[in-house]
Amino acid sequence: MLQLNFIRDNRELTIAGLERKYFKGATEAVDKLLGLDKQRRDTQSELDATLSQSNTLAKQIGQLMKEGKKETAEAAKAQTATLKTRAKALEESLKEVEEQLQATLVLLPNLPHESVPPGRTPEENVEVYTWGEKPSLPEGSKPHWDLIEQYDIIDFKLGTKITGAGFPVYKGKGARLQRAMIQFFLDQAVEAGYLEIQPPILINAESGFGTGQLPDKEGQMYHATVDDLYLIPTAEVPITNLYRDVIVAENDLPIKNVGYTPCFRREAGSWGAHVRGLNRLHQFDKVEIVQVRKAEESYQALDEMAEHVKGLLQKLELPFRIIRLCGGDMGFTSALTFDFEVWSAAQARWLECSSVSNFETYQANRLKLRYKTEGKTQLLHTLNGSALALPRILAALLENNQTPDGIRIPKALVPYCGFEVIQ
């Protein structure tokens, strides 16, 4: 959530930032917010003055009675009653305007970092790094959805039978490879100094609000309505919410957490050939890295997280590129996002497998996540990244490593899965 005092002091900058994210009606929204803010402050000032006057009169009444000035005391009592009535009305007005102010403020997305390129669509994102050579596949090579059927390692039909489309069943070497990747990603993160967390996969509405999924993406999450709980779209949500309403001790910073969870996304409105097979699922596995940092350290931390993801993909021997997202293609809560895409040889296209983002104070302001330094309380910065999301990694591994004798497993994963080839 944006900070109101920043918007108040930087109206034009806020409007320009919202427009770079293609937020519709930026000027109107900001001016409405500032109008409500002025109304709130004016109402608060009048309420404070009314209560102060009422308190002063209340103190005078006793003294007037002692002095025998009964008539004057009764007049003061009547005036006090009028002031109390006025104060109650002002309190109700203040509560109403504060609710309107909050409801307007939470609808504004985060402002983009100065390095975010202009643009509205994915085609306007900027490639900043590439690694690896695209493999040349042998004649007769297949996309991953045919390979998994050929080697009987994932069953989409069984998943549809049990649950519905987008919920695959992993079998045999497919299940073992999935488990191997999870353990490999976790071990790499722990080695890099992250503390492993195993969080719940159901969250309450307060947690969804804290990291910005609510109200922005309510329709994209699975909602268990009886208990008013949500299935998580990513481990970022429960892990970051560990620090909701927390003042972190300065010597406990930086915070670096990693967690594996299944993730659930309704992906409403998604269809077509680009979502075939593992390209887009309703349930998938992901290892997530999360950091909480001081403001002056957060962009260095973002670079470190990007380097960590680069190292994972290099160890998996997968050609990849890094994209700096333009303003119109960024997430609601992000100030700067780098997407990682692996090359899918059989599909001949790039597949997103990770996003690494800095949210600056946006989530921390919602979470009330702060630290105290030199006697002052300050908001922290939150960051997160996929390290990694498994489905598209698996798709690329299967397609890129297919040979006439089977699918070769990258050397880094062999100790974890216990086999070198899927045959």
Q: Which helix (H) or strand (E) holds 337?
A: strand 336-344
Q: What is the DSSP string of 159-218?
A: HHHHT-TT--EE-HHHHHHHHHHHHHHHHHHHHTTPEE----SEEEHHHHHHTT-TTTTG
Looking at domain 4-105, what is its CATH homologous superfamily?
Serine-tRNA synthetase, tRNA binding domain (1.10.287.40)
Query: What pLDDT score does 289 carry?
Result: 98
Which residue type occupies 415? P
Identify the three-state secondary structure at position 27: helix
Provide the token pair at 389: 């999301």
Residues 232 and 202: beta-carbon distance below 8 Å: yes
How far is the CA of 45 from the CAs of 24, 90, 91, in angstroms? Answer: 33, 10, 11
Look at residue 311 and give its three-state secondary structure.
helix
Structure tokens at 247: 């003042």
Q: What local confidence, expressed as pLDDT, does residue 270 receive? A: 52
Question: Beta strand 169-170 with 406-408: parallel, antiparallel or unpaired?
Answer: unpaired
pLDDT of residue 68: 80
∠ CA 403-407-413 to the nearest 5 degrees? 135
How far apart are alpha carbons 150 and 167 in whole angstroms?
19
- CA distances 289 to 82, 161, 188, 196, 307, Å, are 58, 33, 11, 9, 12
Q: What is the pLDDT along the chain (423 residues), one digit of tens a residue?
A: 999 999 999 999 999 999 999 999 999 999 999 999 999 999 999 999 999 999 999 888 878 877 788 888 888 889 999 999 999 999 999 999 999 999 999 999 999 999 999 999 999 999 999 999 999 998 889 999 999 999 999 999 999 999 999 999 999 999 999 999 999 999 999 999 999 999 999 999 999 999 999 988 888 999 999 999 999 999 999 999 999 999 999 999 999 999 999 999 997 555 555 678 999 999 999 999 999 999 999 999 999 999 999 999 999 999 999 999 999 999 999 999 999 999 999 999 999 999 999 999 999 999 999 999 988 999 999 999 999 999 999 999 999 999 999 999 999 999 999 999 999
According to CATH, where is 1.10.287.40 located in the chain? Answer: 4-105
Indicate the pTM of the whole model: 0.93
Task: Identify the CATH number of the domain defined by range 122-422.
Answer: 3.30.930.10
Question: Looking at residue 64, what is its pLDDT?
Answer: 82
Distance (Å, rounded) from C-alpha 399 to C-alpha 401? 6
How far is Cα 381 from Cα 316, in angstroms, rounded to an integer?
30
Distance (Å, whole) CA 107 – CA 332? 9
Q: Strands 247-248, 370-373: parallel, antiparallel or unpaired by DSSP?
A: parallel
Residue ranges matching CATH 3.30.930.10 in the chain: 122-422
